Amino acid sequence: MARSLVIVESPAKARTIKRYLGKGFEVEATMGHIKDLPKSKLGIEIEQGFVPSYKVIPAKRDVVKKIKSHADKADIVYLASDPDREGEAIAWHVAEEIKKPDAAVRRITFHEITKKAIEEAMKNPKELNRPLYDAQMARRSMDRIVGYTMSPLLWKKVKRGLSGGRVQSVALRLICMRQEEIESFIPREYWTVEAVLVTPSGDTFSARVILPKDLPDEQAALRVVDEIRSAPSILINAITRQVRTKNPLPPFITSTLQQAASSRLRFSAKKTMMLAQQLYEGLPIGGDEISGLITYMRTDSPVISEDALHDVRRYIPEAFGPAYLPDKPRRYKAKKTAQEAHEAIRPTSLQNTPEVLRPYLNDDQFTIYDIIWKRFIASQMSSASFDQTTVDIVAGDIGLRSTGSVMTFDGFLKVFDTNGDEDEKKLPDSLNQGDTLSCPTIDPEQHFTQPPPRFTEASLIKELEEKGIGRPSTYAPTLSTIVDRGYVRMEARSFVPTELGRDVNALLVKHYPNILDIGFTARMEDSLDLIEEGQSAYEKVMGDFYRTYNTEHEQAAQNMENIRAEARSSGILCKICGKDMLIKLGKNGYFLGCAGYPDCTNTQEFTRDDAGKILPVDAGKAEETGENCEKCGSPMVIKRGRFGQFLACSNYPECKNTKRITKAPEPTDRACEKCGAQMVIRHGRFGPFLACSAYPKCKNIMPYPLGVKCPMPGCNGELVQQRSKKGKSFYSCSLKECTFISWTKPVIRECPRCGSGVLIRKGTKLTCANPGCSHSEDEAP
């Protein structure tokens, strides 16, 4: 039996580390947290200094028993959980359970799972970090107090299944505030005037009027046009030439990786973190060799190690040439609240280029690794250079300007492009100061100011980070929760608050003004950082928080309106009896119901327009589509049925022709395995599927992928959605030889027992999709 025991969180991480340590070491996995607050009660002794009553999670009793058995036989136990608050809490809880003498327990941390990093960590063990554990304990206690008391109140006053949270409710507030800005926005008209100018040598270029600055209406724009045309001359007043440089961005941290994956790859924050976790914990890259491919993915520090800096500065001139290496290394500073001990997200080996790893990674793993590798390399490359020319022109009292920019050296852009935001515009070489220009064309154009855009995942994560709300590990679960609870819906990849989200937000903002205050939440995050740094005590921070929260909660419990029982006026009159139509909340959601009920039973669905105004949906009114019925030639109209919208012939009941509404195909990053064309997402009778964009030349189709790896041990396939011959949805592995199948939609969540990324709904339970794992849990409300 091994004399040393190493304890990590996941089996994948354990397998990788075991290969590096070899004989003499046993490596066991906790499968996440082994202890938590009890579900049946608050579990925090408020009057005794907010002491949490951590208990072994029932599903982890066998895991703890196994770890204790190995620990009893080991001389030294190394606690190697992740180098953050959650990892420190796991280490403390394991130490409490195994009850070994302090001298026999060592804490080791590393930011990459490579042989060198593991060996270095083993040579430099340290003691458990009490302040880091206290910071996690404070966060967990705050979240438990809020969730345990606020959520039941929402169940009582609104509907069952809702939740309130210290961070999630503030995220919802930001979305609702943005929606209010959009609805209250009043567009402002403005005009631009652009002129096509001709040099004495016959070259043409365009310039825009910059003086006067504001052109509020057409009259002002036409006045400018007349002044230019009637000006005695149009002269080049000044030409300014300068070299402009563009510097690379720092390597990724958690938030910027999530933002880039959302905007570039259209990956959700949850999916991005799942893929990054796989790359961090290690994947087979050639034979049986398993190696961690990136550093730890939960970090808010852009700092990199001196070894990594040395390696990348040696790699750049070899790969791209000496001109691409700056004279001095680039050093990026972390913000004040970042954990300096952490590193940025980077590849563990520069020899593992995306091209080298391509055969060993699936498409999603590859795209995430590709942007991590390129962003890291680019962060230490030379700046890109541009020759920028600015030409100022006068026509009487009117000022015009034209700017041209030409890239003279691509620098870091050779590796990590900027999505085309460096469009080149070359001005004629024949421009000289004092030249007289002719103006054959002047184009005035009307514009209107636009409301602020709705939050996307990328922009909301950026907003949360800038305002100090949450930390790297909280962004993905926070966004998932507000969608899962039905507070927001995704529309064109943007968050739109639902009627339920509006109501919940309004109630919480009214009755928890401090807890929902963005500044207060940010200060609480700062307080957690102070605990971690040893500058503040757990009990003091918890006391400050609880006094504020408990005062507001007691008042909310007394005064919060009952949305479930109280209907509100919609401002719409009943078409049948003329009484008010009231906004009501039923078991199937919100609807308009007549105030004259039960004498009048009129009900209607409703939507809101861009200004937030309620618009009734007339079930009997059909919207024309411009399409004609292929059977009788009558117009086809949109109608709504119990399963949603569909096309129907307006000549009903004489013609009963109906058709499903087809959606435009959505592009993907997959290539057709038969012809190489792009695969697109199409929607058929039985749901979405992948089809070749070259149809009808190529008729290749594939099942719709869920973007998650198959949970069967040793399988490299991914889960896909399919339909049975009877039209029922089921979910299976993309590899025909794999036997995995599920008749309920998988829940993408890591199993706390075995680390599998998929759980399956069975009644009210969630069970692990891995047939070799017995984990089962109640589905969270």
Mean pLDDT of 134-149: 93
Percent of the chain with pLDDT strictly greater than 70:
93
What is the per-residue burial (b if ≥16 Cβ within 10 Å, else e) of 59-76? Answer: bbeebbeebeebbeebeb
Strands (E), 332-484: 384-395, 398-409, 438-448
Kindly tell me if the per-residue pLDDT of 382 is higher than 80: yes
Decide: 300 and 334 in contact? Cβ < 8 Å: yes
Mean pLDDT of 77-83: 94
Check residues 640 and 604 and name the one with the higher pLDDT: 604
Kindly tell me if the per-residue pLDDT of 341 is higher than 70: no
The burial class, CB within 10 Å (0-12 / 13-18 / 19+), for 436 is exposed
Beta strands 666-671; 678-684: pairing state: antiparallel
Decide: 488 and 478 in contact? Cβ < 8 Å: no
- Alpha helices by DSSP H, 194-333: 218-230, 254-265, 269-281, 306-320
pLDDT band for position 664 (cuts 50, 70, 90)? low
pLDDT in tens, 542-561: 999 999 999 999 999 999 99
Q: In Å, how far are 197, 393, 429, 442 from 203, measured between CA atoms? A: 8, 16, 9, 16
Check residues 380 and 667 and name the one with the higher pLDDT: 380
Q: How far apart are CA 482 and CA 474, in angstroms?
A: 13
Please report the pLDDT score of residue 726 as a whole number: 66
The residues, ordered by sequence, that sit 6+ positions from 662 with a Cβ below 8 Å of its Cβ are: 683
Kindly tell me if the per-residue pLDDT of 775 is higher than 80: no
Phi/psi region, residue 753 (left: phi>0; alpha: psi -120 to 50; beta: rest), is alpha
Helix (H) or strand (E) holding 682: strand 678-684
Q: How far apart are CA 411 and CA 249, in angstroms?
A: 12
| DSSP3 helix / strand / coil % (the chain, rounded to 5) | 35, 30, 40
pLDDT band for position 471 (cuts 50, 70, 90)? confident
Report the DSSP beta bridge partners of residue 390: 240, 403
Count of residues in the chain: 781
pLDDT in tens, 507-549: 999 999 999 999 999 999 999 999 999 999 999 999 999 999 9
Kindly tell me if the per-residue pLDDT of 781 is higher than 50: no
Mean pLDDT of 452-458: 94
Decide: 444 and 222 in contact? Cβ < 8 Å: yes
Query: Could you say which DSSP state residue 249 is in?
Result: P
Mean pLDDT of 767-772: 79
Decide: 413 and 423 in contact? Cβ < 8 Å: no
Please report the pLDDT score of residue 411 as a whole number: 95
Kindly tell me if the per-residue pLDDT of 339 is higher than 60: no
Q: In Å, how far are 71, 332, 561, 731 from 25, measured between CA atoms? A: 12, 38, 60, 39
Backbone angles phi and psi of 21, in degrees to 5: -85, -35
Please report the pLDDT score of residue 755 as a whole number: 66
Lookup: tokens for 754: 């075995």
Residue numbers annotated as active site: 296
pLDDT in tens, 177-231: 999 999 999 999 999 999 999 999 999 999 999 999 999 999 999 999 999 999 9
Q: How far apart are CA 709 and CA 717, in angstroms?
A: 6
Report the DSSP beta bridge partners of residue 400: 209, 393
Please report the pLDDT score of residue 189 as a whole number: 96
pLDDT in tens, 115-133: 889 999 999 999 999 999 9
Q: Write down the number of H helices and E strands in the chain.
A: 17, 38
Please report the pLDDT score of residue 342 as a whole number: 77
The burial class, CB within 10 Å (0-12 / 13-18 / 19+), for 571 is exposed
Please report the pLDDT score of residue 476 as a whole number: 87
Mean pLDDT of 608-620: 76
Among 302-311, 422-431, 436-445, 577-586, the minimum mean pLDDT is found in 422-431
The residues, ordered by sequence, that sit 6+ positions from 177 with a Cβ below 8 Å of its Cβ are: none
Mean pLDDT of 60-66: 92
pLDDT in tens, 701-742: 888 777 677 888 767 778 888 877 666 778 888 887 787 888
- Alpha helices by DSSP H, 568-695: none
Q: How far apart are CA 283 and CA 272, in angstroms?
A: 16
pLDDT band for position 756 (cuts 50, 70, 90)? confident
For the four alpha carbons of 497, 144, 87 and 484, in that order, the dihedral sign comes to: negative
Kindly tell me if the per-residue pLDDT of 303 is higher than 60: yes
Decide: 89 and 36 in contact? Cβ < 8 Å: no
Q: How far apart are CA 35 and CA 31, in angstroms?
A: 11
Backbone angles phi and psi of 588, in degrees to 5: -105, 15
pLDDT band for position 32 (cuts 50, 70, 90)? confident
Please report the pLDDT score of residue 129 as a whole number: 95
Please report the pLDDT score of residue 340 as a whole number: 47
Closest by CA to 757, choosing from 744, 743, 747, is: 747
Kindly tell me if the per-residue pLDDT of 501 is higher than 70: yes
Phi/psi region, residue 486 (left: phi>0; alpha: psi -120 to 50; beta: rest), is left
Lookup: tokens for 49: 């200094």
Q: How far apart are CA 332 and CA 707, in angstroms?
A: 33
Closest by CA to 610, choosing from 217, 185, 65, is: 185
pLDDT band for position 1 (cuts 50, 70, 90)? very low
Percent of the chain with pLDDT strictly greater than 90:
58
The burial class, CB within 10 Å (0-12 / 13-18 / 19+), for 310 is exposed
| Average pLDDT, rounded, for the chain | 88
Closest by CA to 587, choosing from 496, 500, 498, is: 500
Lookup: tokens for 383: 């700046």
Q: How far apart are CA 752 and CA 59, in angstroms?
A: 9
Backbone angles phi and psi of 263, in degrees to 5: -75, -35
Task: Write down the pTM of the prediction.
Answer: 0.77
Check residues 147 and 766 and name the one with the higher pLDDT: 147
Please report the pLDDT score of residue 600 as a whole number: 93
Among 96-100, 292-296, 571-575, 609-613, the minimum mean pLDDT is found in 609-613
DSSP string, 9-74: S-HHHHHHHHHHH-TTEEEEE--S-SEE--SSS--EEGGGTSEE--EE-GGGHHHHHHHHHHHHT-
The burial class, CB within 10 Å (0-12 / 13-18 / 19+), for 357 is buried
Closest by CA to 21, choosing from 72, 62, 74, 63, is: 74
Please report the pLDDT score of residue 39 as a whole number: 82
Mean pLDDT of 244-271: 92
Please report the pLDDT score of residue 335 as a whole number: 72
- Alpha helices by DSSP H, 205-288: 218-230, 254-265, 269-281
Please report the pLDDT score of residue 641 as a whole number: 56
Lookup: tokens for 120: 């270095």
